[in-house]
Amino acid sequence: MFEKILVPLDGSPVAETVLPAAEWFRGAFGSSVTLISLLERGAPRAIHGQRHLSDEGEAAEYLDEVARRAFPPNARVERHVHEAEVADVPKSLAEHAAELGQDLVLLCVHGRGGLERLFEGTIGERIMRYQAAPVLLLRPEAPPVPPFRRILLALDGKSQHEQSLPLAEELAAATGAAVDLATVVPTRSTLKGPGRAAGILSPSATREALAQAEAAADEYLAERRAAFAARGIAAESLRRRGDPARQLARLARERGSDLLVLGTHGRAGTRAFWAESAAVRIIAAVKLPVLLVPSLAGE
Average pLDDT over residues 188-192: 70
Average pLDDT over residues 134-147: 76
Give yes or no for residue 154 having a pLDDT over 80: yes
What pLDDT shows up at residue 107? 85
Cα 113 from Cα 250, distance rounded (Å): 32
Most confident of 34-43, 212-221, 280-289: 212-221
**Phi, psi dihedral angles at 215 (to 5 degrees):** -65, -40
CA neighbours closer than 13 Å in the CB half-sphere of residue 229: 10
Pick the CATH number of 150-294 from 3.30.1380.10, 3.90.550.10, 3.40.50.1110, 3.40.50.620: 3.40.50.620
On whether the CB atoms of residues 179 and 172 are closer than 8 A, the answer is yes
pLDDT digits (tens, 9 = 90+) for 243-255: 888 999 999 999 9
Give yes or no for residue 280 having a pLDDT over 80: no
Cα 157-144-146 angle, rounded to 5 deg = 70
SS3 132: coil
What pLDDT shows up at residue 143? 54
Cα 270 from Cα 60, distance rounded (Å): 43
What pLDDT shows up at residue 273? 45
pLDDT digits (tens, 9 = 90+) for 17-68: 899 999 999 999 999 999 998 876 655 555 545 566 767 888 899 999 999 9
Cα 6 from Cα 18, distance rounded (Å): 11
Provide the CA 213 distance to its chain's centre, in angstroms.
26
Average pLDDT over residues 255-274: 69
How far is CA 36 from each of CA 113, 192, 234, 260, 290, rounded to the nearest angstrom?
A: 14, 39, 37, 25, 21
Give yes or no for residue 222 having a pLDDT over 50: yes
Peptide bond into 147 cis (omega under 30): yes
What pLDDT shows up at residue 115? 39
SS3 176: coil
Cα 103 from Cα 120, distance rounded (Å): 24
Domain boundaries of the chain, sorted by first residue: 4-138, 150-294
Task: Decide if 4-138 and 150-294 have a common fold.
Answer: yes
Average pLDDT over residues 65-76: 96
What pLDDT shows up at residue 279? 73
Task: Tell me the CATH architecture of domain 4-138.
Answer: 3-Layer(aba) Sandwich (3.40)
